[in-house]
Amino acid sequence: MPGRCSPRSRSTTAASEARMEVGFIGLGKMGRPMSERLLAAGFALHVHNRARGAVDDLVAKGAKAANSPREIAERAEIVLSALPTPQSVDEVYGELAAAARKGQVYADCSTVSLQLSRRCADLLRKKGAAFLDAPVSGGPGGAQAGTLTVMVGGDQAAFEHALPVFRAFGKNIRLCGPTGAGQAVKLVNQLLVGVHTAAIAEAAVFGARLGADPQIVLEVLGTSFGGSTMMTRNMPRFISRDFKPATPVKLLLKDLGLIHDEAKGANVPLLLGSVAEQRFLEAVGRGHGDEDMAVLVRLWEEAAGTTVGGH
């Protein structure tokens, strides 16, 4: 029947997508597992990273190394990036734009300002290429499992072109609006992550000081209005004292700084956000910047003279 897709034609389409040349720049805590998912999905993957070790590991799994962002732009049809700072995004996209060409799609999965995303889009548009801001949420574990949330801003056609690539590492993939809309949604998410992390730390120490068993608190609140995704994430870390950095304090502090600047420009008071940002600043000042954000609980523990969970 016309318009129907046979199993064979669907398979051919999938194979064609898998052979797509994809570039990935930035192989850190998120970029590396995202790249591994792309390899597992069968994409022809080209990778670049300042530190060579992660590149070599992915080459051993089938990726091809590129010596610069420009090389990635010259080889790939779709280029993704996951970079740690706005400065690195600015620098890398300056290089990419120099070699960009018509028909390419660039998707930045970093968390940056709306203004920077729009600037990247403008640079690439002049070369006939499309840009998507595509920040992700779900942490390294979500990247490994292929269950990330991908918040996309940009053109519908570019989004549909990149969708098979996003599906390699994402489960919840949403076009949120025009350029910058993905970053807007991500910053709302990060504001809540920061505020909830601080609130959960405070509540956990309050409960511990009153003699409540933290494991029971976790189990009961898991089915109560006071529960949240961040509680489910952080409370077990409080209890086990596991502060290995899945999401380091200094990384979330960077995001809270972006949120502060965006809110100031939009004339939106962020009272709770400002308190959370101050607590993250204190944690960095006490030497916890490279530990997981759950380590924030120690600020309240020290003030209250008690500990949540183990010692």
pLDDT in tens, 206-238: 999 999 999 999 999 999 999 999 999 999 999
Same domain, 233 and 198: yes
Query: What confidence score (pLDDT) does residue 2 get?
Result: 38
150, 30 in Cβ contact below 8 A?
Answer: no
8-state DSSP, 307: -
Same domain, 66 and 113: yes
Element (H, E) at 107: strand 105-108
Instruction: Choose one of 178, 201, 224: the last residue of a domain.
Output: 178
Same domain, 140 and 234: no
Same domain, 292 and 206: yes
Query: What confidence score (pLDDT) does residue 12 get?
Result: 37
Catalytic one of 29, 102, 171, 186: 186
Q: Could you tell me the CATH number of the domain that includes residue 282?
A: 1.10.1040.10
Q: For residue 58, how far is the Cα from the chain centroid?
A: 20
Averaged pLDDT score across all residues of the chain? 94
Gap between the Cα atoms of 197 and 275, Å rounded: 11
Confidence of residue 29 (pLDDT cuts 50, 70, 90): very high
Instruction: Choose one of 125, 155, 178: the last residue of a domain.
Output: 178
Gap between the Cα atoms of 256 and 192, Å rounded: 10
In a domain, 1, yes or no: no
In a domain, 311, yes or no: no
Residue 65 has pLDDT above 80, yes or no: yes
In a domain, 47, yes or no: yes
Task: Give the CA distances from residue 37 to residues 2, 63, 74, 235, 245, in Å, rounded to whole numbers and listed in that order.
Answer: 34, 12, 22, 29, 21
Same domain, 145 and 199: no
Same domain, 165 and 219: no
Question: Which burial class, exposed, middle or buried, applies to 156 when counting CB atoms under 10 A from its CB (0-12, 13-18, 19+)?
Answer: exposed
Domain count, the chain: 2
Same domain, 168 and 220: no
Q: Could you tell me the CATH number of the domain that includes residue 30?
A: 3.40.50.720
Instruction: Choose one of 162, 178, 194: the last residue of a domain.
Output: 178
Query: What confidence score (pLDDT) does residue 144 get?
Result: 97
186 catalytically annotated: yes
Same domain, 171 and 194: no
Counting Cα atoms < 13 Å in the Cβ hemisphere of 18 gives 11
Residue 15 has pLDDT above 90, yes or no: no
Same domain, 170 and 101: yes
Gap between the Cα atoms of 253 and 259, Å rounded: 10
Residue 262 has pLDDT above 90, yes or no: yes
Reading phi first (left if > 0) and then psi (alpha if -120 to 50, else beta), residue 232 is in: alpha
Same domain, 89 and 130: yes
Same domain, 157 and 78: yes
For 290, the domain range is 185-304
In a domain, 49, yes or no: yes
Residue 13 has pLDDT above 70, yes or no: no
3-state secondary structure of 308: coil
Residue 11 has pLDDT above 50, yes or no: no
Count of other CB atoms within 10 angstroms of residue 103: 10
Reading phi first (left if > 0) and then psi (alpha if -120 to 50, else beta), residue 18 is in: alpha
Query: What confidence score (pLDDT) does residue 309 get?
Result: 83
**What is the secondary structure of 207-253 as a DSSP string?**
HHHTT--HHHHHHHHTTSTT--HHHHHHHHHHHHT----SSBHHHHH
Same domain, 26 and 108: yes
Query: What confidence score (pLDDT) does residue 1 get?
Result: 38
In a domain, 309, yes or no: no
In a domain, 149, yes or no: yes
109, 121 in Cβ contact below 8 A?
Answer: no
